[in-house]
Amino acid sequence: MDLDARTMLADSGLRITAPRVAVIDALVEMPHAAADAIFAKVSETLPRTSLQAVYNVLGDLATHGLARRIEPAGSPALYELRVGDNHHHVVCTHCGKVADVDCSVGHAPCLTPSETHGFAIAEAEVTYWGVCTECREASVATVH
């Protein structure tokens, strides 16, 4: 996967701007980041960027298929650059950490519903909920 921001923008026909490049660079470092975390990162290099500008860039990237937006229940929208493979997510119920889980059978949709209601199914988005390694170790440490 080519993660060069300028190439990605050029390939998708988006104009190359400093905020767009900075947002993509931030997402390379922080997959599954919320807009405010991306904004904090982008502000380090572009101090005059606004949160609204970051939202606009994220919207453009999502619309053009460069970024994917996921919304685990109870969490703000998270953005990532891994798109188009219908992968799933495992979310920690304690700390909110998110990790990628490959599609169950490697192609989309990877789950066949028992009833499609006549829909042509294109995608299956699964969120697995659990407790991450760090949180499990932390709870074991407090018990003993």
Binding site for Zn ion (CB under 5 A): 80, 92, 94-95, 97, 100, 132, 135
Burial 18-29 (b: 16+ CB within 10 A, else e): ebbbbbbbbbee
Question: Largest Cα–Cα distance of the chain, in whole Å?
Answer: 57
Measured from the CB of residue 50, what is the shortest distance to Zn ion in angstroms? Answer: 26
Alpha helix locations (H) across the chain? 5-11, 18-29, 35-45, 51-63, 133-143
CB closer to Zn ion out of 17 and 134? 134
For residue 69, the Cα-to-chain-centroid distance in whole angstroms is: 5
Measured from the CB of residue 13, what is the shortest distance to Zn ion in angstroms? Answer: 24
CB closer to Zn ion out of 46 and 108? 108
Measured from the CB of residue 31, what is the shortest distance to Zn ion in angstroms? Answer: 6
Closest among 82, 80, 91, 76 to 128, alpha carbons compared: 91
CB 7 within 8 A of CB 23: no
CB closer to Zn ion out of 10 and 77? 77
Measured from the CB of residue 118, what is the shortest distance to Zn ion in angstroms? Answer: 30
In the block, residue with structure tokens 């949180």: 135
CB closer to Zn ion out of 37 and 135? 135
CB closer to Zn ion out of 6 and 94? 94
Measured from the CB of residue 83, what is the shortest distance to Zn ion in angstroms? Answer: 9
